[in-house]
Structure formats: C-alpha cells, structure tokens
Chain A
C-alpha cells in the first residue's frame, strides 16, 4: 500500500502528463496555454504537498500550536504563481496579436501561411 500512500504524487503525475500532452498534441494556441497552465499547476501542487506536515496546522506562530506545516514552500509557490500569471498574460497577449496578424490561432495553419510566404 506504500504506492497508494503517495497519492499526492500520483495527482501530480497525472496533471503533469495531461498538461504536457495538451502542449504537444494540440495545435490550437489557446489550448496550448491551457496545457501550460495545467502543467505549471501540477508543479505548484508538488511543492505545496511537499510542505505538509502530518497533523500540523497553519504556520502562524502561537503557543497553543506546537506543530505546523512548512511555510517556505508556500512562499516559493506564491512567487511561482505570480510568474505563471505573467507567463499566461504574455502568452495570451501574443496570441491576440497572432490572431490579428494571421487571422487564425491554429498552429498548423500559421505554419502553412508562413511556408507559403517563404516560398513567395
């Protein structure tokens, strides 16, 4: 049962692979951003679940609470979430501009347009 006891890692693996699969297999740029979001979220989950201490409470110093979770990972992930938001924003902004320029957000169609341009 040791394998099932690590269920948080299973969740991470499933999310991470789902995100990576979307990134690789989908041509739609918005879906790619969604995949990237899922992928990054799985990493946040990996960090957060790492900091959990069995039976520990929220990390607010108080004499009544002897045991608390590791707060450091939360701080790290707060930063990583902000980075993730920024990445998503930049990505979506690029997609908006790509749509304005190419009239499509399907990667294969964009590639077709580009190769036609290249030949011309």
Chain B
C-alpha cells in the first residue's frame, strides 16, 4: 500500500511537520521534528527515484479523481531528480541550521523558523511533483511566501528591505506566471500539463498561446533570476540567515529552472519554443551576458556571500545557455549543471556560514590566514570552490565539459570560448579569497576575534556529507550524466 502512496507522502510529511512545530514551540523539539521529517522526505524521494527508474512514469490522482478532471502528480525522471535534489539539500542544510539559528535568531521565534522552512520545502517539492499548471502557481507561492519570511529572519536590518524587494519582484514574477497559465487555459481549456501539451499543436496559431508564452517567459526568468532580471538575488542572498541562503541557493532558483524546462520543452514543445518562437534569440544573449558579466562583477565583491550570489547568477546563465542549445546533449548538460551547481553552491555557502559563525562576518579582507584557525572550514571552501571553477575530477568539470562539448556539437563554438573566459574569472574570484585564507600574513591590527576556533561539529558534518557527494559525482561522473540524459530525453520526447 505504501508504495502507491509515496507521491502523496512527499508533500504530506513536511506539511504535517509545519503545524506540529507551531503547536510544540520548543526550539530543540522543533528542530528534531524538522530533521525527522526531512529524513523521511529524503527516503521517500529516493524510493520514488528508484521506482521511476525501474517502472517509468508515476501518475498519482489526488482524491481519486483521474487526470483531466482532478489534480494529478506526474513524476517522470526529471521530476524524480528534482525531488531528490531538493529533499537532499534541505535535509543536509536543516541539520546544519541548528547552530546558526541558535546563534542568530531570537529563541522565541525558532519554531516559526522551522515551520516556515517546512512550508517552503512543501512548496518546492510540490512544484517539482505536480502535473497541474495551476498547482504549480499555488506551490510556487507557498514556497516564495515562506522564503520571504525566512529571509526576514536575518540578523541585519537590511534583511528586511532585501526580503521586501524579493517579495515585490517575486510577486510580479508569480503574477506573470499566473497570467500565462490563464491564457493557456483560455486557449486550450485544460490545466493538466499532459492535456495542455496535447492540445497545443491545434491551438498554436491562436494569439492567446503567444501571449501566454511571453508572460511565462518573463515570469520564469524573474523567478529563476536570469541575468537582466536578477536584481532581487544579491541582497537576499547576502542578508538572509546563512542556512537560508544555502537552502535558497541550492533549491529555489533550481526549481524555477525546472518549471521553465517543463513549460518550454514538455508543454509548448521544443519546436514551438525554439523553432517557432525563437526563444534562444531572447534567452541566449541574456544567458551569455549573464555568465560573463556576473563572473566579472563577482571579482569585485568584498563580501563572500555577495560574491557567491553573483556567481550564482553566472551559473544560472550557464544552465540557460545549455537549455538554449535545445539538443539532447545541451539539455543533459543543463540538467547536470542544475544538480552539480545546487550541491556545490550549497556547500560553499555552508562553509561561508561556518566562517560567519566564528568570525562574525564574511568580509574577505579580514580572513587573513584563516586556515590556521579553521582548517576544516577552509578546506571545504577550497574544494567546493574548485568544483565551482570546474577543475577536472570535480563535479563542476563534468557539467562544464558537457556544456562546451554540446555547444561544439551545435557549432556554436563562441559559447564554449565564453564559458572558458568566465571560468577564468571564476578562478580569479575564488583564488583571491583562497589566497587570503591560506597565505596572507595575519596583520597586527587583525580584526578577527580572539580565541577563534573551528566551527562546531554539527555544522562541519553536514557540510562534509555534501562535499563527499559532490566529490563522488565528480569522480564517478557517468552516474549523473546517464540520469540527466534520461531526463533530457523525457523532456525532448514530450508527454507520451
């Protein structure tokens, strides 16, 4: 019985944990509930992943109402990957969060923090699992609203204005998506994704489909922070509590990218999006400008969180560029990079979080010779930084290599060159910080607090778990590639 109910459990468990946290209110108990729920969710998503691999697409009718009438959960290999990624990252970060939250959030509000976290997880998993276009909007708003709340927990007052700005941008993005879905419904009379996809070929000539397409493009670009529309991202990443930043960086934009994939490839179809609408004419320049310019901007940031935030926008540029190739190889590269970047960036933010936990801030000028004091944290930063650059044998190398070879395959060699250029910038901004942390002599007017020690074990262990996974991904290589190419084939093939 339980095997049939797995898709429902995926949503029910975190959603159940949220009100329990609100009821119980004891800080430590709430954290235990959150971790327990997260472990269960991770186990569920692993089981779903295995089930999808062996048996193919899972369709789960909510309330027993079959697909066109009711809402269904539709899980193919792409959804399974997203579920696994989101629940894994959330699980690792929520364990890590305990120490940082205890330090930076008022004790009386811890239960709200974990409740909001669980709701956010519900929303993100819901987006990745649902097969209903309107349901995507609802889950998107559940995750976004709780994310605004989580960001506002930041200890600096600038967290509030960052959160407000994210709220305005995010609501505009979500409203655009809502308009797009509305026009799709008007043109096709369906909300189920499979249904819409099957009716799009007949409705293609209608102007409503064109309007829907444009609104969805803009809305999803805002939500996934594609280059010119990334304004909300840097402040939100910098001022949110660091555990939230790690969670946000690893999951929220990735899930929005998944929605973008789902709409452009499965629902509108590759031919319509990239053949008829020339989406790559719009997206590709934005993506390329994004990864070149944002890597350049990242070099000049003194705050590590802000630097990594701009680097995130650059990485999203890579992913979008890979999608624009609209080929099996390109899509595979994009999906692999979603996975790898999610893991690497989360690990990086976690190591920065350890630094903030001990040093109190993350300005790069006051981290002189930090390696002496916090060797494990600095090691983690260096290894995940190497992954970000794309050094061979790391996870980042695999995704960058497959991106470059995919663009060569299409004959767009300029993209390959620009990716290499942007990787050079990445060497500069990561290398600069590493140089300070390893080699620069501690100054006499050292602003570091006295008695600086290594971060607590409860923060180091989850970070190293994440790091181990990224190393495993980097060395085995073919495992993620084959999974991603399955997903790419499923997306390009459309719904059966």
Give the interface of A toward B (CB within 8 A).
20, 23, 29, 32, 36, 39-40, 43, 46-47, 50, 72-73, 76, 79-80, 83, 86-87, 90-91, 94-95, 97-98, 101-102, 110, 114, 117
Q: How far is it, in angstroms, between the C-alpha of A35 and the C-alpha of B78 when the chains are bound?
A: 37
Q: How far is it, in angstroms, between the C-alpha of A94 and the C-alpha of B171 when the chains are bound?
A: 14
B182 touches A97 (CB 8 A): no
B141 touches A87 (CB 8 A): yes
Q: Is B157 an interface residue (CB 8 A)?
A: yes
Q: How far is the CB of A32 from chain B (nearest CB, A)?
A: 6
Chain B 123-155, CB-CB to A under 8 Å as 1, else 0, gives 000000000001001100100010011001000
A-side contacts of B172, CB under 8 Å: 20, 23, 36, 39
Q: How far is it, in angstroms, between the C-alpha of A35 and the C-alpha of B163 when the chains are bound?
A: 18
Q: How far is the CB of A118 from chain B (nearest CB, A)?
A: 9
Given the interface contacts A90-B149, A94-B160, A102-B157, does A50 sit within 8 Å of B167 by beta carbon? Answer: no
Question: Which chain A residue shows the least CB distance to B178?
Answer: A43
Q: How far is the CB of B203 from chain A (nearest CB, A)?
A: 15
Q: How far is it, in angstroms, between the C-alpha of A102 and the C-alpha of B161 when the chains are bound?
A: 10
Question: Which chain A residue shows the least CB distance to B167?
Answer: A91
Q: How far is it, in angstroms, between the C-alpha of A40 and the C-alpha of B145 when the chains are bound?
A: 15
Q: Is B495 an interface residue (CB 8 A)?
A: no
A39 touches B182 (CB 8 A): no
B160 touches A98 (CB 8 A): yes
Q: Is B214 an interface residue (CB 8 A)?
A: no
Contact of A94 among B137, B138, B167, B191 (CB under 8 A): B167
A43 touches B179 (CB 8 A): yes
A90 touches B145 (CB 8 A): yes
Size band of the interface chain B makes with A: 20 to 34
Q: How far is the CB of A17 from chain B (nearest CB, A)?
A: 13
B157 touches A76 (CB 8 A): no
Number of A-B contacts (CB under 8 A): 68
Chain B 174-205, CB-CB to A under 8 Å as 1, else 0, gives 01001100100110000100000000000000
Q: How far is it, in angstroms, between the C-alpha of A80 and the C-alpha of B182 when the chains are bound?
A: 12
Q: How far is it, in angstroms, between the C-alpha of A102 and the C-alpha of B158 when the chains are bound?
A: 9
Between-chain CB contacts (< 8 Å), 9 pairs: A40-B175, A47-B182, A73-B185, A87-B141, A94-B148, A94-B160, A94-B164, A95-B164, A102-B161
Q: Is B452 an interface residue (CB 8 A)?
A: no
B178 touches A50 (CB 8 A): no
B145 touches A50 (CB 8 A): no
Question: Which chain A residue shows the least CB distance to B140?
Answer: A83
Contact of A29 among B164, B171, B191 (CB under 8 A): B164
Given the interface contacts A39-B175, A80-B178, A94-B167, does A110 sit within 8 Å of B161 by beta carbon? Answer: yes
Question: Which chain B residue shows the least CB distance to A87?
Answer: B171
B185 touches A90 (CB 8 A): no
A-side contacts of B160, CB under 8 Å: 94, 97-98, 101
Q: Is B282 an interface residue (CB 8 A)?
A: no
B134 touches A76 (CB 8 A): yes
Question: Which chain A residue shows the least CB distance to B235?
Answer: A114
Q: Is B414 an interface residue (CB 8 A)?
A: no
Give the interface of B toward A (CB within 8 A).
134, 137-138, 141, 145, 148-149, 152, 157-158, 160-161, 163-164, 167-168, 171-172, 175, 178-179, 182, 185-186, 191
A90 touches B157 (CB 8 A): no
B145 touches A87 (CB 8 A): yes
Main secondary structure, interface of B, reads helix
Contact of A101 among B134, B157, B167, B185 (CB under 8 A): B157
Extra A-B contacts (5), CB below 8 Å, given A98-B157, A98-B161, A102-B161: A46-B182, A90-B145, A94-B148, A94-B160, A114-B158
Q: How far is it, in angstroms, between the C-alpha of A97 and the C-alpha of B149 when the chains are bound?
A: 12
Q: How far is it, in angstroms, between the C-alpha of A83 and the C-alpha of B269 when the chains are bound?
A: 30
Q: How far is it, in angstroms, between the C-alpha of A50 and the C-alpha of B138 when the chains are bound?
A: 20
Q: How far is it, in angstroms, between the C-alpha of A55 and the C-alpha of B206 when the chains are bound?
A: 25
Given the interface contacts A46-B182, A90-B148, does A98 sit within 8 Å of B164 by beta carbon? Answer: yes
A36 touches B161 (CB 8 A): no
Given the interface contacts A46-B182, A87-B145, does A114 sit within 8 Å of B161 by beta carbon? Answer: yes
Q: Among B149, B161, B172, find the residue whose CB has the most chain A CB atoms closer than 10 A.
A: B161
B-side contacts of A36, CB under 8 Å: 168, 171-172
Question: Which chain A residue shows the least CB distance to B152?
Answer: A94
Q: How far is it, in angstroms, between the C-alpha of A47 and the C-alpha of B157 when the chains are bound?
A: 38
B167 touches A79 (CB 8 A): no
A-side contacts of B168, CB under 8 Å: 23, 32, 36, 91
A46 touches B157 (CB 8 A): no
Q: How far is the CB of B188 from chain A (nearest CB, A)?
A: 12
A-side contacts of B148, CB under 8 Å: 90, 94
Q: How far is the CB of A59 from chain B (nearest CB, A)?
A: 15
Q: How far is it, in angstroms, between the C-alpha of A102 and the C-alpha of B164 when the chains are bound?
A: 14
A-side contacts of B161, CB under 8 Å: 98, 102, 110, 114
B-side contacts of A29, CB under 8 Å: 164
Given the interface contacts A32-B168, A114-B158, does A86 sit within 8 Å of B145 by beta carbon? Answer: yes
Q: How far is it, in angstroms, between the C-alpha of A109 and the C-alpha of B318 when the chains are bound?
A: 36
Q: How far is the CB of A2 from chain B (nearest CB, A)?
A: 13
A50 touches B182 (CB 8 A): yes
Question: Which chain A residue shows the least CB distance to B170?
Answer: A87
A94 touches B141 (CB 8 A): no
